[in-house]
C-alpha cells in the first residue's frame, strides 16, 4: 500500500477493521482511532480529540457507517487525545443505547468530558467480564495497569488476531510513507539507533524507545504489560499513535524489546 503523507480516506487494517484517524505532514503526534464493523453495526475505539472529530467522522461515513449504528465507544485510557470528542460522538450518533466503555478506575476521569446527565452512559468493562460481544464477534479487554494510567487496558479481536494497543507500541513520530510499517532485515541487529548506518531519517526502534521512556511511568509497568501481551497470538498491532505493525517477526521483536527496555519513566531519572 502506497499512501501519501496526508491520508483523507479510511484504511482497512484487517477484516471489518478500519483506521479512521489523521496522518498529516508536519504532525508530530497523530492519533489512530479504529472502527470495527460487524454486519451493519460498529464499535469505535479511542475516538480521538475534539480537533480530530470532523476528520474521524468523515472517514467513518466513507466506510459506509451511519453514526446512529455505532453501538459502543471504547476508551482504553482517559487522555484528551483519544477521549476529547466523546461528547461530540454521543451527539452525532443519536443512539440512546450507546455504551461508553472503559475501566472503573478511568471512568472517573472520562466523566469530566461529559455533561452530568450523561454519566450513566459510561459503563465498566469489568461488569462485562472484560469482554464485549457484538453479533457473535467478541472483543477481549486485557488490563495493562499503569501503562500508562492505572486503569489502562488493551483490546484484542480474536477473529482477526488484532491487538488495539492504546499507547503501547506507539511513538511521537511516524513513518510518513505508509500507516503500516515493517523493519528492514538489518534493523534487528542495529546498535547505532541515533544515527542510521543506511542514512535514513526515521528509526522506528529509536522512536518507540523514546516514546515509552517518556510516556510510561516505570519499567515494571511496561514490562508487566508486555508479559501479558506476549501470551496472545497476534497478527496485527494497531497502536493509538505511530504506525501499525503487521508482521509477526516485527511484533515479536518489539514485544521482547519493550519487555526489557530500561530507563523508563521514573527509572530513567533515578
Give the model's pLDDT for residue 67: 95
Q: Is the peptide bond before 206 cis (omega within 30 degrees of 0)?
A: no
Give the model's pLDDT for residue 132: 96
User: Can you spell out the DSSP letters for 79-113?
Assistant: -HHHHTTHHHHHHHH--TT-EEEE-HHHHHHHGGG
CATH number at residue 137: 3.60.15.10
Distance CA(166)–CA(181), nearest Å, equals: 17
Please report whether residue 247 resides in a domain.
yes
List, for the chain, all residue ranges whose pLDDT scores fall below the cut of 50.
1-4
Residues near 221 by beta carbon (within 8 Å), at least 6 away in sequence: 144, 145, 146, 147, 148, 264, 265
Give the model's pLDDT for residue 5: 52
Please report whether residue 90 resides in a domain.
yes
Please report whether residue 84 resides in a domain.
yes
Please report whether residue 4 resides in a domain.
no
Please report whether residue 65 resides in a domain.
yes
Please report whether residue 124 resides in a domain.
yes
For the chain, the domain total comes to: 1
Give the model's pLDDT for residue 174: 67
Q: Grid coordinates standing for 122?
A: 459510561
Please report whether residue 200 resides in a domain.
yes
Give the model's pLDDT for residue 4: 40
Give the model's pLDDT for residue 27: 55
Structural domain boundaries enclosing 84: 11-268
Amino acid at each position: 500500500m502506497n499512501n501519501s503523507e496526508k491520508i483523507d480516506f479510511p484504511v482497512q487494517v484487517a477484516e471489518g477493521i478500519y483506521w479512521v484517524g489523521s496522518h498529516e505532514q508536519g504532525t508530530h503526534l497523530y492519533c489512530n482511532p479504529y472502527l470495527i464493523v460487524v454486519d451493519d453495526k460498529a464499535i469505535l475505539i479511542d475516538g480521538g480529540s475534539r480537533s480530530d472529530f470532523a476528520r474521524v467522522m468523515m472517514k467513518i461515513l466513507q466506510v459506509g457507517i451511519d453514526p446512529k449504528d455505532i453501538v459502543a465507544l471504547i476508551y482504553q485510557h482517559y487522555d484528551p487525545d483519544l477521549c476529547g470528542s466523546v461528547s461530540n460522538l454521543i451527539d452525532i450518533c443519536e443512539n440512546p443505547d450507546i455504551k461508553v466503555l472503559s475501566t472503573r478506575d478511568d471512568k472517573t476521569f472520562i466523566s469530566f468530558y461529559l455533561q452530568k446527565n450523561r454519566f450513566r452512559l459510561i459503563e465498566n468493562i469489568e461488569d462485562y467480564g472484560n469482554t464485549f460481544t457484538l453479533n457473535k464477534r467478541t472483543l477481549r479487554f486485557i488490563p495493562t495497569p499503569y501503562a500508562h494510567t492505572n486503569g489502562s487496558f488493551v483490546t484484542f479481536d480474536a477473529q482477526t488476531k488484532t491487538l488495539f494497543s492504546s499507547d503501547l507500541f506507539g511513538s511521537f513520530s511516524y513513518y510518513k510513507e505508509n500507516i503500516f510499517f515493517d523493519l528492514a532485515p538489518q534493523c534487528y541487529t542495529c546498535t547505532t539507533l541515533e544515527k542510521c548506518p543506511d542514512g535514513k531519517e526515521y528509526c522506528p526502534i529509536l522512536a518507540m524507545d523514546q516514546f515509552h521512556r517518556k510516556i510510561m511511568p516505570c519499567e515494571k509497568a511496561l514490562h508487566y504489560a508486555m508479559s501479558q501481551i506476549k501470551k496472545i497470538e497476534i497478527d496485527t498491532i494497531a497502536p493509538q499513535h505511530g504506525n501499525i505493525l503487521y508482521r509477526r517477526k516485527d511484533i515479536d521483536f518489539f514485544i521482547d524489546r519493550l519487555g526489557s527496555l530500561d530507563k523508563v519513566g521514573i527509572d530513567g531519572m533515578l
